[in-house]
Every structure is written in C-alpha cells, then in structure tokens.
C-alpha cells in the first residue's frame, strides 16, 4: 500500500481543520449586545445557572445577579440512581459557585418578596434589589407536611423512602428499599396529585426495585403496588399504554385514582383517598413523593395563575415564550413555570435558549422568535441496564431525537447508556451554557 | 436533543472525561494516527507480517472495548434489547479492534523498522 506526500498533507490539513472548527464557531457568534440592564435571576439550579452562563456571553455591561441560599448544586436526574444503590450520594452534589461565570454576582440568600410593580425583590437577608428584568427559577417546594404522619427524619428506617428530598434522603431511601428487596413483603410506590418534577421518576423507582428484588431471587416474596391519583400511568397516552403493558409483564399492580393521605409508621399502614372513600393498605416499604408547589413568594407577589393550579401556584407565563402574561419584564423557567409539561432538566435545556432569546431581544427593543414546544424528555428506566428514551411535547406527540434509530417505546441498552454515561456530562455542558 | 452541533459534542465529551484528560485522549489518538501515516509513508508499503500481528490483536481490542463499556456502567450483555443495541455493540467492538490494530502496527513499525525484519 502506497501513500504519497500529497495525500498525507491533505489528511493532516483535514485533521487540523477538525480541531480548529469549534474555535471558529465561537468567533462566528453574534456580537454581544451593549446594555446597562439590571437582571436578577432567582435560583441557581439547572435553569438559573444555565441562563446566567448564556446571558453573560450575549450581553456586554449588564448587571446580572443570581440569588440562591444553597451552596450545593444538585444534579437531580441522578437521584433515582442513588435511590437504587447505583450511584453514591455525592454523585449528584457539586458547588453552586463552581458553575457560575465571572461577572455574575451570587447572593447566598433566598427571595422573600417580589414587587412586580416597583420592579424590585427583597431577600431573606433584608437586601432590596432593583431589576429591569426578573427571571424566576427558584424550583419548587416539596410539601412533606401534607402527608399526615410523615416527616423527613423517618426516611431510611421502618421501610420508608423519599428520594426527591435530596441526595442523603435518596441514599437512605436505598437503605430501606434494599432491605425490602431482601426481606420481601408489600411495597407501595406513590406519586402526588399535583404537578411534579420528572413524572417518570415514581415509575423508575418502582421498576428498579422490582428488578433488584428479581436479581436477588426474591421477587416471589415481594408484592409491588403502584398508587397514583391520576387516571392513567403517564400523562402521554401512548406512553401510559406501554407502561401498562410493562406493569403486566413485571407483575406490578396499579391502583389508579388513589392519593396518599397519611401514614402510620408504627402500624406500617398507609391511607389513600379515592373515589370510593378511604382505603387502608399495610406496607413493608413505602415510597413517598409529596405534593409539590411554588415557593410562597411567587404566590404572594401575585405572579401565579389565578384560575389554574390554584393549590400549587405556578407562575402565569405564556407556554411558548415563558414570559409572564401580565408583567412583560418577568420570565419563569424550570419547575416554577406554569406550563402543562416540562419539569425536567431536559425541558430546562430547551426552555433556557427561549428565555435568553426573548430577554436579549427585549433589551434590544425587538421581539424574540424562539418558541418552547413543551419538549420534555424522560429516560424511563425499566430495569438496571435498560431504559426507554421517551421525548414528548405539549400536544402529547412523541418527538424522538433519533427517529428511526432509537425507538422511544422500546427498552434499550443504548438508552440506559445515555442515562448513565452521557446525561450528566450533557447536563454539565448545559449548565455552562454550551449545550 | 435541541441542537447536536460539533461544539455541543465537544463540550459533552469534555465533561464526560474531564477537560484535560479528553484533550490528552484526542492528542494521543492524533499522534498514533499521524505515526501510522508516517510509517506508511516512510516504508512505502505495508508489511504483511506486521499487519498479521495487528490482525491477531484485533479480537483483543474488540473484547477490551466492550469490557470497558460494561465495566464503567451498571449493565450486562443480557441488557442488549433491540437492533440498535446490537449495532452499538458491534460499533464499540469494531472501534476497539481497529484502534488496537493501528496501535500495534505503528508500534511494530517504530520498534522494528523494515531493514531489520524484512529484506
């Protein structure tokens, strides 16, 4: 085989072009917009951090302040893995300040009040910050007190799990779930009646504990029951049908239109309310996901929907632009946004560029053009090693990223590899504003 | 995925391996490839004896690549569930096989240049 010098030089040039491409792309980005606008972002979670990193690149001279009381940043998509013993608790924890770019000031306090008329916010430390543009990204509040008889200090013992509450609680959930998978008995897997973060997570936990009991040879002595206040197993009908079939295949019982009301930890008994009144169910393991609501300051500022989700208080935004419907200088992104879908990190990835576009356009005196379609993605884990890559929009259409290649309703190894290997790097790249 | 550009992919891989380690991997891949091209040009022919050893190394590269992926993830061969999984599995094996064979051929050519091993 002969290779001449000209071919060699050609190959070398192609290689060099490949390496220099990203640099060229960065230079080609639009010139930064000069402005003295004061932008306040409430919340340094996935949405707030990603937006701050994008805005700092788009704006020159803007004052960007982000406020968040928590020094730790949580990679929440990892909590399901922690609660199944597949990752340690510290897999989901990093430092908030490590993700924020130079030029953005971080105030480690929570928002106490917003005055949308005077355009200022007050922090829990008593500071008042004026803003020209306000971005609500405070996430949501887990209302554990709404479940009578339950408190977070119980998690991990006496068969009680609650993986949403944070990395340590997720690890303690695994301690309780693992014991259940060894010793057997009746498992109750619940979800709340409210809107919630990642509506797939209650199902993932159910599937994972089913699989782990199976692998340990104990599936015969384990009864798995999934209780949900809703009428179907998933908000997207075609996915609900698939989950129904998988439940049939795995021998998981579904109790629909059943809302967890209270638990008696001494007697290991849970009470559900449903159409036929109250039902008492004994358990050996129960996974509690509490009702989820907007932080109080959003409701008190009059920023919530008045006629929708009245017990929950999500911000009243246009579903396509995420701009507040009554205050045009306010946007809401992430869990707090009052839109029918989209309380996942994947949704945030699609929402943030939309808010960025409309906010920067407003500063320039134009109208933005980007639209949020309701895109939400859920790598639905169905066992350790397999998942379904489910992606959908407001219209309940499936919107696969790899159509014809990765089937959304098929349990696949490639979808699991994406969840386990690629999701956190993609999330981190999103935080840095690069994906 | 919203936009799968070359820049996005680079950013994701940087996060996956750590920024410095990723670029060291890229540099290693480029250096080995350039070394391979260099020995091809220098020798003006492919040594079939060296190529034979490179071919013998291929199954080991294939098995090592698949083993690596299974080791760093909580998954097993039994988890392969659909056609795309088989394609991915074969792709990983092929990458490992081709990568190791190029490495073996290049190392052989540097360690035993033609005048010492062949007439």
Alpha carbon distance A186, A177 (integer Å) = 11
In chain A, the percentage of residues whose pLDDT exceeds 90 is: 91
Which among B44, B72, B85 is the nearest to A414, CB-wise?
A: B85
Q: With an 8 Å Cβ cutoff, are B40 and A3 in contact?
A: yes
Bridge partners, A94 (sequence order) = A73
Which among A1, A15, A422 is the nearest to B30, CB-wise?
A: A15
Tell me the shortest Cα–Cα distance from B11 to chain A, in angstroms: 6
Alpha carbon distance A105, A124 (integer Å) = 17
Residues near A179 by Cβ (< 8 Å), separated by ≥ 6? A159, A285
Does A127 have pLDDT greater than 60?
A: yes
Q: What is the secondary structure of B23-85 as a DSSP string? A: HHHHHHHHHHHHHHHHHHHHHSS--HHHHHHHHHHHHHHHHHHHHHHHHHTT--GGG--SHHH
Q: With an 8 Å Cβ cutoff, are B10 and A22 in contact?
A: yes
pLDDT at A435: 80
DSSP SS3 for A131: coil
Tell me the shortest Cα–Cα distance from B76 to chain A, in angstroms: 7
Alpha carbon distance A70, A109 (integer Å) = 8
CA angle in degrees (0–180, nearest 5) for A155-A161-A167: 75
Q: With an 8 Å Cβ cutoff, are B12 and A426 in contact?
A: yes
Cβ-based contacts of A411 with chain B (< 8 Å): 81-82
CA angle in degrees (0–180, nearest 5) for B84-B88-B91: 140
In chain A, the percentage of residues whose pLDDT exceeds 70 is: 93
Tell me the shortest Cα–Cα distance from B106 to chain A, in angstroms: 15
- Tell which of A50, A348, A385, A418 to mutate to test the B interface (max B CBs under 10 Å): A385
Tell me the shortest Cα–Cα distance from B60 to chain A, in angstroms: 23
Structure tokens at A165: 């509450």
Residues near A328 by Cβ (< 8 Å), separated by ≥ 6? A362
Alpha carbon distance B72, B66 (integer Å) = 10
Give A413-429 as a 3 state SS string: HHHHHHHHHHHHHHHHH
pLDDT at B2: 57
pLDDT at A18: 42
Alpha carbon distance A182, A310 (integer Å) = 42
Nearest chain B residue to A417 by CA: give it: B73
Which among B10, B33, B41 is the nearest to A3, CB-wise?
A: B41
Q: With an 8 Å Cβ cutoff, are B2 and A420 in contact?
A: no
Q: With an 8 Å Cβ cutoff, are A413 and B14 in contact?
A: no
In terms of average pLDDT, the best of A52-56, B10-14, B17-21 is: A52-56
Q: With an 8 Å Cβ cutoff, are A401 and B6 in contact?
A: no
Tell me the shortest Cα–Cα distance from A154 to chain B, in angstroms: 29
pLDDT digits (tens, 9 = 90+) for A55-78: 999 999 999 999 999 999 999 999
Which among B6, B78, B82 is the nearest to A412, CB-wise?
A: B82
pLDDT at B19: 81
Which among B30, B69, B84 is the nearest to A412, CB-wise?
A: B84
Q: With an 8 Å Cβ cutoff, are A1 and B73 in contact?
A: no
Q: Please provide the average confidence, as pLDDT, over all residues in chain A.
A: 93
Nearest chain B residue to A409 by CA: give it: B82
DSSP SS3 for B91: helix
Q: With an 8 Å Cβ cutoff, are B6 and A21 in contact?
A: yes
Q: With an 8 Å Cβ cutoff, are B75 and A420 in contact?
A: yes
Nearest chain A residue to B69 by CA: give it: A417
CB-CB contact of A425 with B12 (8 Å): yes
- H-run or E-run covering A345: helix A345-364
Does A49 have pLDDT greater than 50?
A: yes
In this prediction, residue A219 has a pLDDT band, given cuts at 50, 70 and 90, of very high
**Chain A residues whose C-beta sits inside 8 Å of any chain B C-beta:** 1-5, 8, 11-12, 15, 19, 21-22, 25-26, 86, 349-350, 353, 375, 383-386, 401, 405-407, 410-414, 416-417, 420-422, 424-426, 428-429, 432, 434-435
Structure tokens at A16: 């060099």
Give the relative orientation of helices A237-250 and A201-215 as an angle to the nearest 10 degrees.
20
Does A369 have pLDDT greater than 90?
A: yes
- Tell which of A413, A415, A423, A432 to mutate to test the B interface (max B CBs under 10 Å): A413
Does A7 have pLDDT greater than 90?
A: no
Nearest chain A residue to B92 by CA: give it: A414
ipTM of the complex: 0.87
Does A9 have pLDDT greater than 50?
A: no
CB atoms within 10 A of CB A426: 24
In this prediction, residue A12 has a pLDDT band, given cuts at 50, 70 and 90, of very low
pLDDT digits (tens, 9 = 90+) for B35-71: 999 999 999 888 899 999 999 999 999 999 999 999 9
Distances (CA, A) of B107 to A60, B29, B30, B38, B73: 51, 13, 14, 12, 31
pLDDT at A19: 42
């Amino acid at each position: 085989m002969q290779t001449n010098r000209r071919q060699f030089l050609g190959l070398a040039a192609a290689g060099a072009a490949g390496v220099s491409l990203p640099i060229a792309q960065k230079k080609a980005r639009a010139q930064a917009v000069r402005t003295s606008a004061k932008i306040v972002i409430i919340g340094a979670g996935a949405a707030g951090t990603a937006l701050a990193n994008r805005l700092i690149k788009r704006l020159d001279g803007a004052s960007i302040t982000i406020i968040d009381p928590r020094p730790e940043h949580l990679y929440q998509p990892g909590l399901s893995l922690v609660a199944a013993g597949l990752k340690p608790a510290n897999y989901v924890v990093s430092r908030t300040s490590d993700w924020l770019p130079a030029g953005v000031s971080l105030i480690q306090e929570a928002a106490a009040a917003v005055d949308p008329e005077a355009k200022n916010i007050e922090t829990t430390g008593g500071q008042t910050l004026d803003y020209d543009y306000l971005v609500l990204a405070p996430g949501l509040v887990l209302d554990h007190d709404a479940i009578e008889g339950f408190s977070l200090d119980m998690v991990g013992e006496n068969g009680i799990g609650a993986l949403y509450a944070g990395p340590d609680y997720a690890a303690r959930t695994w301690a309780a779930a693992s014991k259940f998978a060894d010793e057997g008995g009746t498992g109750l897997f619940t979800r709340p009646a409210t809107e919630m973060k990642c509506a797939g997570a209650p199902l993932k936990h159910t599937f994972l504990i089913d699989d782990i009991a199976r692998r340990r040879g104990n599936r015969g002595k384990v009864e798995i029951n999934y209780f949900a206040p809703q009428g179907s197993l998933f908000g997207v009908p075609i996915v609900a049908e698939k989950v129904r079939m998988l439940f049939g295949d795995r021998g998981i019982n579904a109790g629909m239109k059943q809302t967890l009301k209270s638990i008696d930890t001494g007697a290991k008994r849970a009470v559900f309310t449903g159409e036929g009144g109250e039902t008492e169910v004994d358990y050996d393991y129960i996974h509690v996901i509490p009702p989820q609501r907007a932080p109080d300051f959003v409701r008190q500022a009059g920023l919530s929907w008045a006629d929708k989700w009245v017990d929950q208080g999500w911000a009243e935004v246009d579903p396509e632009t995420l701009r507040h419907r009554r205050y045009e200088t306010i946007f809401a992104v992430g869990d707090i946004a009052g839109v029918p879908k989209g309380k996942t990190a994947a949704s945030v990835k699609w929402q943030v560029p939309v808010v960025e576009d409309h906010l920067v356009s407003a500063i320039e005196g134009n109208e933005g053009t980007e639209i949020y379609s309701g895109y939400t993605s859920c790598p639905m884990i169905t066992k350790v090693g397999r998942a379904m890559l489910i992606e959908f929009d407001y219209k309940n259409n499936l919107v696969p990223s790899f159509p014809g290649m990765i089937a959304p309703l098929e349990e696949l190894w490639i979808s699991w590899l994406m969840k386990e290997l690629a999701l956190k790097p993609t999330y981190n790249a999103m935080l840095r504003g690069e994906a | 995925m919203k936009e799968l550009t070359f820049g996005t992919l680079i950013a994701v891989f940087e996060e996956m391996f750590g920024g410095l380690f990723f670029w060291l991997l890229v540099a290693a891949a480029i250096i080995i490839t350039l070394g391979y091209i260099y020995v091809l040009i220098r020798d003006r022919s492919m040594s079939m004896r060296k190529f034979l050893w490179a071919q013998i190394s291929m199954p080991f590269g294939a098995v090592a690549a698949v083993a690596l992926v299974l080791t760093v993830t909580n998954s097993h061969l039994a988890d392969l569930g659909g056609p795309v999984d088989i394609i991915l599995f074969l792709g990983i094996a092929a990458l490992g096989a081709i990568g190791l064979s190029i490495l073996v051929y290049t190392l052989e050519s540097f360690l035993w240049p033609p005048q010492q091993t062949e007439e």
